[in-house]
Amino acid sequence: MADKKRTAVDWEDVRIFLALARHGSLSAAARTLSVNHATISRRLHSLEESLGEKLVERRPEGYVLTPAGTLALEAAGDMEQAAQILGRGMMDGAPSGLVRIASSPGLSAGFLTSRLAALATRYARLDIDLSPNLRSISLERYEADIAIRFDRPKDGDVVARPLTTVGYGFYGTEETCRLIEAGADPVFIGFNEADAYLSQEIWMARHFPRTRVAFRAKDQFAHSVAARFSAGLALLPHYIGRSDPLLRICDLGSTPPSKDVYLLTRRRDRKETSIRFVADEVVGMFEQARELFL
C-alpha cells in the first residue's frame, strides 16, 4: 500500500481482523462471527486501507500476520478488552468481560469446568470461555488470555506461574482391579490412534506393547467414564481417578513420571484487571486441591 493512506478505524473491521488472526483461516473466522467469507475479506481490506498497511499474508497453511499485523494485533487486543469493559460498565473494579482460557481436554473436563462455571456464576459481568485442546493455543495470537500447560514454556513473552505437579495411576472398578490382582491379563483404555504421539501413549506402548486396548477415546475424562463401565484399566491423572468413587487404583508396578503444570499469561496483560483476577482465582483452585494431584 504505497500511499500509506490512513483513515478512522472501524471497530467492526478490528473484530474481523482479531478473529482471522486467532483462527488463521477465513472459514474459521466466518464461523466464529457468523458471517460469510466475503464479509471477512471486505472488512480486512477496509482495515488495511484505514491503517495503510498490509496486515496478513495468505499462505498454504493459512493466513499469517505480517510484522505490521503483529503490532496491530496487540493494539486490537487492547481495543477488545476496553470495549468489553465499557460494554459491561466496569466502573467499580469488579471483574468484567470475556476471559478466554485454554487447557487440555482432561484437565478441562476433570477439574476446571465445574470450578470456572462457579466463578462465572459469582460475578454477573464476568464471562469465561474454556477451550479444551490438545494442541498448544497461542497467547501471542490472542487465541486465549490464559493458557494452562504441562511443562514450562521455552519461548514467548509470557509469565509462567507454577500450579501443581500431576501424578498418574492405573484406575479401574473394584471388579476389574480384583481380577488383575488375581492374575488376569490387564486390558487397557487409551487415546485414539491419531493421538499416538502423546507422551502418555508413547510410554504405554513402550511398557505394555502387546496388551489389548479395548476402548479408545479423545481425552482422559472419557477414559474414566469407560473405566467406570469396566471396559478396562485407564491410565489417569490422580485428579480424575481420585474424584470418581467407582474407581480405585490398581498397581501394575510402574507409572509415567509426574508432570508440572503452569499457568501462562501475556506479560503485557499484567495490569488487565479481569485477566489477572481470573488467573489468581485459578491459582487458588489448584492450591486448594493440591492433595488431589499428587
pLDDT at 2: 47
Together in a domain, 119 and 264: yes
In a domain, 1, yes or no: no
Mark out the alpha helices in the chain (DSSP H runs).
11-23, 26-33, 37-51, 67-88, 105-107, 113-122, 174-181, 199-207, 220-228, 238-241, 273-288, 290-293
216 and 150 inside one domain? no
Last residue of a domain, one of 86, 106, 124: 86
pLDDT of residue 273: 87
Q: Which single residue is written with the C-alpha cell 493494539?
A: 75
What pLDDT score does 157 carry?
Answer: 82
Q: Rounded to 5 degrees, what angle do the CA atoms 165, 129, 199 make?
A: 35
104 & 127 share domain = yes
Structural domain ending residue among the three candidates 41, 61, 86:
86
Same domain, 32 and 75: yes
CATH code for the domain of 31: 1.10.10.10
The pLDDT assigned to 234 comes to 98
Residue ranges making up the domain that contains 132: 93-166+259-293
**Contact status, residue 268 vs residue 157, Cβ threshold 8 Å:** yes
Same domain for 210 and 241, yes or no, is: yes
Regarding whether 263 and 245 lie in a shared domain, the answer is no
User: Does residue 125 sit in the same domain as residue 244?
Assistant: no
Which residues contact residue 103 at a Cβ distance below 8 angstroms, ignoring those fewer than 6 apart?
112, 130, 131, 132, 133, 147, 148
- Does some domain include residue 126? yes
Q: How many angstroms separate the CA atoms of 200 and 37, rounded?
A: 39
> Strands, E, within 114-257: which ranges?
126-132, 146-150, 158-166, 168-172, 188-191, 213-217, 233-237, 248-249
Domain total in the chain: 3
Asked if the structure places residue 60 within a domain, the reply is yes
Pairing of strands 188-191, 233-237: parallel
Q: Is 51 helix (H, G, I), strand (E, B) or coil?
A: helix
Residues 267 and 151 in one domain: yes
- Residue 191 in grid coordinates: 487415546
> Do 206 and 225 lie in a common domain?
yes
- Asked whether residue 121 is assigned to any structural domain, the reply reads yes
Q: Are residues 130 and 178 in the same domain?
A: no
Domain boundary among 44, 59, 86: 86
- Tell me the CATH number at 215: 3.40.190.10
Residue 149 domain flag: yes
Sign of the C-alpha dihedral, residues 39, 45, 50, 54? positive
Residue 292 confidence (pLDDT): 95
Q: What is the pLDDT of residue 128?
A: 96
- Asked if residues 258 and 167 have their Cβ atoms less than 8 Å apart, the reply is yes
- One domain for residues 125 and 153: yes
Residue 94: C-alpha distances to residues 31, 71, 90, 237 (Å): 31, 29, 6, 35
Pair (130, 186) in one structural domain: no
Each residue's pLDDT expressed in tens, for the chain with a length of 294 residues: 545 556 788 888 998 998 888 888 888 888 888 899 899 999 999 999 999 999 999 888 888 889 898 888 888 877 877 776 666 555 566 788 889 999 999 999 999 999 999 999 999 889 999 999 877 777 877 789 999 999 777 767 899 999 999 999 999 999 999 999 999 999 999 999 999 999 999 999 999 999 999 999 999 999 999 999 999 999 999 999 999 999 999 999 999 999 999 999 998 888 788 999 999 999 999 999 999 998
User: In angstroms, rounded to a whole number, what is the distance separating the alpha carbons of residues 83 and 61?
Assistant: 31
pTM of this prediction?
0.77
| Residue 129 pLDDT | 95
